[in-house]
Amino acid sequence: MISLDLHYLYRENALLENLQALFLILSTITYLWLSSYCSGQVRLGWIAVSLLCFSFITREVDLELLPLFESIGFLFHGAGRTILLLTLWAIFARMVFTQGGFKGCIASIFHSKYIQYLVLSFLFLVAGAIFDREFFVLDYGKLFEELVETNAYLFLLLPSLYELYIKRRYGLILADNLNPESD
């Protein structure tokens, strides 16, 4: 991108940001889908990650600029976004309190076999914030910011896709084993 002078690929609302949005939308959906396969604290952990991905979508994508969202764009921008996210997180907090508290939910996330992906994603997002705030003056700081954010969101997506694949495959095998007439 640098040598070919393709600056337009990493501008605001350009290719890399659209790729980030795609990763986040898929992550939100797959983590929410995964929650339907589980119960208890594990279910709440998947919902928490899904809600986190949705929160990133509202931060990363300027939905109010899209023609489809002209009339409801205020929900995803400024004070409307804050109210929407506070409402969703409050509903989630109520679910957590109803099922036993934050300690179990957080423990299910931190004891997940995919915690290394979440930590790596967090570190990429910190690096992206450093590039965004221009703590280091670089010629292509915006490119590096968009690249590390794209990697962060990809590392959020990968465990959900893999786990969903395993759950679906296991579910199909289990269904076949329980239903001998399906032969």
Cα separation, 110 vs 39, in Å, equals: 17
Is position 112 within any domain?
Answer: yes
Nearest in space to 54 (alpha carbons), one of 92, 27, 83, 17 = 27
The answer to whether 150 and 20 have CB atoms below 8 angstroms apart is: yes
Is position 23 within any domain?
Answer: yes
Question: What does the pLDDT read at residue 183?
Answer: 38
* Residue 170 structural domain: 7-175
Q: What is the pLDDT along the chain (183 residues), one digit of tens a residue?
A: 455 556 656 666 667 888 898 999 999 999 999 888 877 787 888 898 999 999 998 887 766 666 665 555 566 667 777 888 899 999 998 988 888 777 776 777 777 788 899 899 999 999 988 887 777 776 766 788 888 999 999 999 999 999 888 877 776 444 434 334 433
Is position 180 within any domain?
Answer: no
State which H helix or E strand residue 85 sits in: helix 78-98
What is the number of structural domains in the chain?
1
Q: What is the pTM of this model?
A: 0.78
Question: What does the pLDDT read at residue 64?
Answer: 61
